Amino acid sequence: MAVKIRLSRQGKKNYAFYHIVIADSRAPRDGRLIERIGVYNPNINPAVIELDNDKALDWLYKGAQPTETCRRILSFKGVLLRKHLQEGVKKGAITQEVADQKWNAWVEEKELKLSSKKSELEQSKREAKKSALEEEAKVNQARQEEIAKNKREEEEAIAKAAAAKAAEEEAAAAEIAATKEAILAEKAEGEAPATESAETKDKE
C-alpha cells in the first residue's frame, strides 16, 4: 500500500484550513485516513503549522511520501533536516552529539527568524494603523472645514437676505411717505382756491 503524507481540507468556503494526515494514496482527498499528525492554517500571517515532528519522521522512515506542499511544510518544521542528520549518524558520517548540536542551532535560528518576522509584522500593523488614523484625522479636519465654510456661507446669505429685506422695507416706507406727502399737497392745493374765493366774497 502506497502511503502519502498529505493535506485534508477542512473549514468553510473561502476560509479553509487543513489537517496534515497519513493516508492511502488511493483514498479520496478528504476520505479515509490512517492518522492525523498536524494542522496547517494559511489564513493567518504567518501561517500556523502544528506538526508532530516525531510521528512525521517515523512515517518518513516507514516510506511515506509527502506531497509537494507537505514536503515544504516538513522542511519548514525541520523534519527533513532531522531525517538527514539521523541518516548521517546511521552511516557514521557524524556523531549523535554533532547531529544534536546542528539540530539545536537550526531550531534557535528558526525561532529567531520567526520572532523577527512577527516583530516586523507587528511594526507594519502599527504603522498602517497610525497611517489610517492620520488619514482619518485629515478627512475629519477637511470635513469640519467644509462644514464651517458652509455655515459661514449660510450666515452670509442670511445676512444679505436680511439686508435686502430691510432695504426693501425702507424703500417701501419711503414710497408710502412720498405718497402721503403728495396726497397732502394735492389736498392743500384744492383747499387754497376755495379759501381765496370766500375771502373775495366777504370783501364784496
Please give the class, per CATH, of domain 3-91. alpha beta
What are the residues whose beta carbons fall under 8 Å from the beta carbon of 61, sequence distance 6 or more? 83
Backbone angles phi, psi at 17, to 5 degrees: -130, 170
Burial of 54 (0-12, 13-18, 19+ CB in 10 A): exposed
Identity of residue 10: Q
What are the residues whose beta carbons fall under 8 Å from the beta carbon of 21, sequence distance 6 or more? 5, 6, 7, 8, 33, 34, 35, 36, 37
Arithmetic mean of pLDDT over the chain: 84
Q: What is the pLDDT of residues 117-158, one digit of tens each?
A: 878 888 888 888 888 888 888 888 889 988 988 888 888 888
Average pLDDT over residues 105-111: 87
Q: What is the pLDDT of residues 32-59, one digit of tens each?
A: 888 999 999 998 887 889 999 999 999 9
pTM: 0.58
Domain boundaries of the chain, sorted by first residue: 3-91
Reduced to 3 states, what is the DSSP secondary structure of residue 32?
coil
Looking at the chain, the whole-number percentage of residues with pLDDT higher than 70 is 91
